[in-house]
Structure 1
Amino acid sequence: MAPAHYSLLFCIHDEPGLTGAEAARRLNVTPQAVASLVTRLEGRGQLERRQHALHRHVQELHLTGAGREAFGSASRVVADIERRVVERLGSDGTAQLTALLEQVVEAVREP
């Protein structure tokens, strides 16, 4: 599974009913990029769009059963990779890596 697909599935798994625009903000990508991912994952039967209960023009994103399965499988792979990294780096190395990655995230989010 591509990292971008996993990221979107993770977002929707975490917050079912997000709109494409909300997902784009959380992922720090353009709405067009999310729309493309949604179309691809919808085609695979992993994601579905549902009309918002109050705002008919707004579409919410939800995982399907296949999407939950795919997300679960990918999450197990990610957890295994994380476990191996932590084992290799130890607690000090893991803390350093985490601090560096947090700095990267801050730098990317700055205007």
Structure 2
Amino acid sequence: MSEPDQRLFFLLQRAAHRLRTTADRRCLAAAGITTAQLGALFAVRDSPGLTQQELARTLGLRESGVTPLVGRLATAGLLTKRPHPREHRAVVLELSEAGVAALAAAQPEIDRFNAELRALLGEEGFTSTAGAMDRLAHWEL
């Protein structure tokens, strides 16, 4: 039997692509939103009153990348934007009722997806992989 592939970066990219495309397809079917949109909605839900700049930091993106994402979510009626009370150039983001409903519609699919990953990796493998991914996501290079 051959050794497992040791090109970790390549494997991470390949796995991330596979997981993202599968999860996007499922979330679009369940709630009409992509995983990128889902991540933004979760961040706003978890920190009501978030600014776009704070959302960009939370998602690990540039603000220029978050602006169109927020625009699409606002146009779809999933987020509301209002002027920041103290910063004249900033806007405050909050979930709309439709945004809350989209998260609720996506949750069963998220739970199913995680259950499939737990079955594939085993509970210990799932937990250790999640921990490793969290450490990599917060690694200071």
TM-score range (shorter-chain normalised) is: 0.7 to 0.9
The answer as to whether partners of 2:52 and 2:90 remain within 8 angstroms in 1 is: no
Correspondence 1:96 to 2:115: no
Structure 1 unmatched runs, 5+: none
Identity of aligned residues (%): 28
Aligned pairs for 1:1-111 (under 5 A) are: 1-107=33-139, 110-111=140-141
The answer as to whether partners of 2:82 and 2:93 remain within 8 angstroms in 1 is: yes
Q: Indicate the RMSD between aligned Cα atoms, in angstroms.
A: 1.7
Matching residue's letter, 1:78: I
Matching residue's letter, 1:13: R
d(CA) in 1 for partners of 2:128 and 2:87?
45
TM-score for both structures, normalised by structure 1:
0.85
Larger Rg: 2
Shift of residue 56 of structure 1? 4.0
Point out the more displaced range, 67-76 or 51-60. 51-60
TM-score for both structures, normalised by structure 2:
0.69
Change (3 A) 1:102 1:54: closer
* Equivalenced residues, count: 109
SS where residue 134 of structure 2 aligns? helix
